[in-house]
Chains A and B, each alone.
Chain A
Amino acid sequence: MSETVTTTPEVKKPELKLTSSPHLHSTWSTQKAMWIVVISILPALISGVLFFGLYQLIVVFVSIAGAVLTEYAIKYFRNQRITITDGSAVITGLLLGLIVPPNFSLVLVFLGSVVSIAIGKEVFGGLGYNIFNPALVGRAFLQAAFPVAMTTWSKPEFAPDAITSATPLSAWKFVDGGEPFFTATENLFYGNIGGSIGETSALAILLGGALLFVLKIANWRVPAAMVVGMLVFGGIFHLLNPENYPTPVDQIFMGGFLFGAIFMATDWVSSPVTNKGMYIYGLGIALIIVMIRLFGGLPEGVMYAILLMNGFVPLINRYTRPVIFGEEK
């Protein structure tokens, strides 16, 4: 080989990379996507602070701290690379902080975020391996462990007198005798109502959602299927009995529907990977929400619906495997 080299002109060779094709790569990375999600959630956080007071900022901070510290501790303990900077634990903590009632106990929210990361994420292997949405695992734990604290709602700070501390859903569902009480739709839109810290303002949520969908971080199929599902299933019952059941459009703006649809059902890890699967997943969530809200013992079912469908995701992925190009169905 040395002879061939002499016949060839020398080329100045810099350090060359020899990785396999493709040699181009989109500009996305896990880290970048996660931090943009964090940004997209900020409007909801701001609305929560506006409506319920500065204390909510502390709640959210404690929640994030719980999540991040837990992840750090577990990674440290397992001698793995510390992955805090990828932002996923921050999202989990942030989201959990926003789906607890306003003025929630700091100790409990910390416990919830520890559970989110430890039991919701790390026992399954950490980022990318969890079956269930970690933030919702934390919330479900809190709901089951401290049901009273989790259903004690504070009024928004400058609520008109007509609005009681009860959330629109329970105001409608658990009436003291009289007529079902429906909240005005524009209150639902701006968020001047009772509810979890970050879920009340549809405006703020949609603002953040717009960023996620424009940048194609969140897949539009899941929320779209959820909305369609709600319009269909919720619509059927509303038409059957408009006196008792709210319109599906109001239902979309009530409770955690929008927040769940945009920030939580879209979680990459715990939602299906196939397009068809995403439609099934979204429709399933909507159906379960309608069942629980209209017929169940609980006022709200977004969390349960998403968690249940998370459980179905492996099966959905399996049975919605796309037909390979050119293969006969």
Chain B
Amino acid sequence: MMSKQVSYWTEFYKGLYDQNPIFRQVLGMCPTLAVTVSGPNGLAMGLATSFVLLFSGIVISSLKNLIPKQVRIAAYIVVIATFVTIVDIVMKAKFPEMSKDLGPFIPLIVVNCLILGRAEGFSSKNNITRSVLDGLGMGVGFTIGLTILGGIREILGSRTIFGLQVLPDAFEPWVIMILPAGAFLTLGLLFGLLNFVELKKKTKKIKEDQQRALAEIKKLTESSEEDLAVKEG
């Protein structure tokens, strides 16, 4: 068991920003880059991944005491691959268009390092409730990341958001945004932007800390002066 238990809310919330799989942990990059040519694709991939994440988390955390250590990776892989196959088959049957768009990236969820990482690093050590929350948080964080990236690429590359045209015809679509190069560039710039905000926060925090420390010192000196004054008085 983990030595320090965080609140259930944090268990869920951490996946959204502080430990966001894409922007913080830099995991699952392949689908992140490959399928995000549009918002819907990003969303679908995010949901599919979340599904696998959630259910494999549940299964693994409930079986965690039954599975011998030596075969745990193999067992996890089988569990994960089973859920992935389910998603794949269901999508082929019910959403053939989307299944075509996402192509081989659905089966590749099997090896998405995010999922195995969570299975090995979290579900195998925590109870079902926590696993569910963690899986949900990570899944939502991942989905949000993919959707944002897909959205940006869709707007600039096709003038649309979720298929709705939002930019005027006069805007020449940037074909590069739906090509591999565009994926790398967009994600790189997005990362940089995020770091920009983070760095600002950090420097702001440092500044605040300094100010607080200064104020404290001032208070201390004042109080000691007062003390002295009192004593002298």
Contacts and interface: CB of A to CB of B under 8 A. Distances in A.
A144 B172 contact: no
B175 interface: yes
A149 B182 CA distance: 18
Interface in A141-165: 141, 144-147, 149
A123 interface: yes
A119 B182 CA distance: 12
Nearest to A105: B172
B110 to A, nearest CB: 32
B67 interface: no
Interface residues of A, number: 10
A123 B188 CA distance: 10
A145 B176 contact: yes
B192 A144 contact: no
Nearest to A107: B172
Interface in B175-189: 175-177, 179, 181-182, 185, 189
B51 interface: no
Contacts of A146: 172, 174-175
Question: Among A105, A141, A144, which residue has the most Cβ atoms of chain B within 10 A?
Answer: A144
A46 interface: no
Question: Among B176, B181, B182, B189, which residue has the most Cβ atoms of chain A within 10 A?
Answer: B176
A145 B176 CA distance: 4
Interface string B67-82: 0000000000000000
Contacts of B172: 105, 108, 146, 149
Nearest to A115: B185
Contact of A147 (B175, B181, B185, B189): B175
A145 B177 contact: yes
Closest 3 CB pairs of A and B: A144-B176, A145-B176, A145-B174
14 contacts: A119-B185, A119-B189, A123-B192, A141-B176, A144-B175, A144-B176, A144-B179, A144-B182, A145-B175, A145-B176, A146-B174, A146-B175, A147-B175, A149-B172
